[in-house]
Amino acid sequence: MPTQKNDLDTTWLVNTDNDTWTLTKGATITTNAEPGVFVDNDFTGNTIRLLGDVVTTGFAQVAVQIQGDNNKLRIGPDSFIDGSAVNVGVDVNGLGTTVTNEGVIKGIN
């Protein structure tokens, strides 16, 4: 069960199957020209809990990108996903993937 408790300035790569990944409250992922959180299409069945913030700037196209199937994304009530400088806050391409948003997602589209 990977847990990110501290601020991070690189992409948080979800690279396992059937795990729970947690960004704790108070932690922020800040990236420039790359997604803040990325799940490749090879990784499935994960639960991604974003209780902190994700802020992406530069030439990235999305703050949180999930390509793998059957993943679950939960954005906590105090969380802020900011893709407004890049284009999209959250992009989900994986089949059977769900998003529960209790926070704020910003994006141009």
For the entire predicted model, the pTM comes to 0.94
**pLDDT value at position 25?**
97
pLDDT at 54: 97
* Single-letter residue type at 34: E
Residues 37/48, Cβ–Cβ less than 8 Å:
yes
What is the residue-level pLDDT of the chain in tens, covering all 109 positions? Answer: 899 999 999 999 999 999 999 999 999 999 998 999 999 999 999 999 999 999 998 887 899 999 999 999 999 999 999 998 888 999 999 999 999 999 999 988 6
